[in-house]
Structure 1
């Protein structure tokens, strides 16, 4: 049974192979370890293996982990990647460095208003329902231009990019299609933001354990990997 360090090494080798295949720089993708439901000991093991960025889905669970893992000398970077209800935005604004799952303007407005002034702006991504699935959260592509223009003007947050979780596909060429669509959306929105004299987006949060090669081929800058690092998820307690 492989250790977490062995798993991280294997994932990093996959990343580098995919980056070389795409003709991209070796440091152009951040590996985000999805640590939801994983114990503190597992996160510490991943940190010892060199990872510094961790993704959480559940605020109460994340709050406990962040408190236990605080280290002023070598701070970790915390990303919220799960559904975010309006009544829980305050703690997200206080605890996290990134929120990837902003799926409506109201959430962005609340995060902006509730981000403590002493902290750096909160990095956010707009979640896109790239496959137009009725059961899945996210903005539809037709909504993005209006929402992005409004979000880009809010204080206390910085609009960094787009995030998507496409439905599973088996073949890599099929996997690439929704990622390519997300990249095209990001690039189109950047033209709009530049025209409005707003900072363009630099982030595509896309790709997980089963499709990270396809995501990297289409320009992912953050890939979110859980099971291939930590193994099967531990049950919530």
Structure 2
């Protein structure tokens, strides 16, 4: 699906929800995509991208940044503590803060680097044992911990269970964010971003609908 079609669907969903389309950022998820596909989307003028793995991002984005200005990179996959410094030097936002150790490691490196990406706490809204994220009941306490570290916490992120109605999870995330005075909501993917926008998403993560199906080698 062409980028322009996704952008048109975002605009329509915002219009239906009475929202300004400028308040929703489209993160083009480029993980495991051939560089030629990413290059084509960059050439169309899009500049906001998402990667799951620090190693893949490090091998891809420095070269693209030499050729294109204004790239904004978001890390949206689980982050290991030993990859934090590299992640902070690569990305403008990290969406998967999910444990105190990770937050304190980021705070330490932020002191050393004199900078810190925008941060989002991942909430495991479906309470799935195999999935990263803090449990909803623990989210308020963790928000307070991250804020106590003087980190730039912008919002929350979730990935709903594949077999449940996503809007229930989007509504839960929005409720947790509202009571913690957080405006950022990273939620919604290729199959459900319209309902995420209706429930207040500020960042949607769309991959295959833009780039085509991923090719895992």
Deviation per CA, 1:51-104: give whole Å up to 9, x if none.
Answer: 111100111111011221123871311111001112221211221111001111
Q: Are 2:99 and 1:104 equivalent residues in the alignment?
A: yes
Shift of 1:145: 1.5
Q: Are 2:201 and 1:224 equivalent residues in the alignment?
A: no
Q: Are 2:197 and 1:206 equivalent residues in the alignment?
A: no
Residues 53-64 of structure 1: pairs in structure 2 closer than 5 A: 53-64=48-59
Q: Which residue among 153, 162, 180 is the counterpart of 2:156?
A: 162
Deviation per CA, 1:152-194: give whole Å up to 9, x if none.
Answer: 1324x41000000001257xxx33111011000000112xxxx
Structure 1 residue matching 2:22: 3-state secondary structure: coil
**RMSD across aligned positions (CA):** 1.8
Q: Could you say which residue in structure 1 is the equivalent of 2:4?
A: 9
- Give ranges in structure 1 of 5+ residues lacking alignment: 1-5, 191-200
Bigger Cα displacement from structure 2, 39-48 vs 80-89? 39-48
Structure 2 residue matching 1:82: 3-state secondary structure: coil
Q: Could you say which residue in structure 2 is the equivalent of 1:175?
A: 166
Cα distance change on mapping 1:41 and 1:116 into 2, 3 Å: farther
Contact in 1 for aligned 2:88/2:116 (Cα 8 Å)? no
- Give ranges in structure 2 of 5+ residues lacking alignment: none
Shift of 1:21: 0.9
Shift of 1:147: 1.2
Q: Which residue among 44, 49, 59 is the counterpart of 1:49?
A: 44
Equivalent-residue separation in structure 2 for 1:51 and 1:73 (angstroms): 10
Q: Are 2:29 and 1:37 equivalent residues in the alignment?
A: no
Runs of 4+ in 1 over 2 A off after TM superposition: 115-121
For this pair of structures, how many residues does the alignment match?
Answer: 217
TM-score (norm 2): 0.93
Q: Could you say which residue in structure 1 is the equivalent of 2:148?
A: 153
Contact in 1 for aligned 2:140/2:176 (Cα 8 Å)? no
Equivalent-residue separation in structure 2 for 1:97 and 1:185 (angstroms): 24
Contact in 1 for aligned 2:98/2:134 (Cα 8 Å)? yes
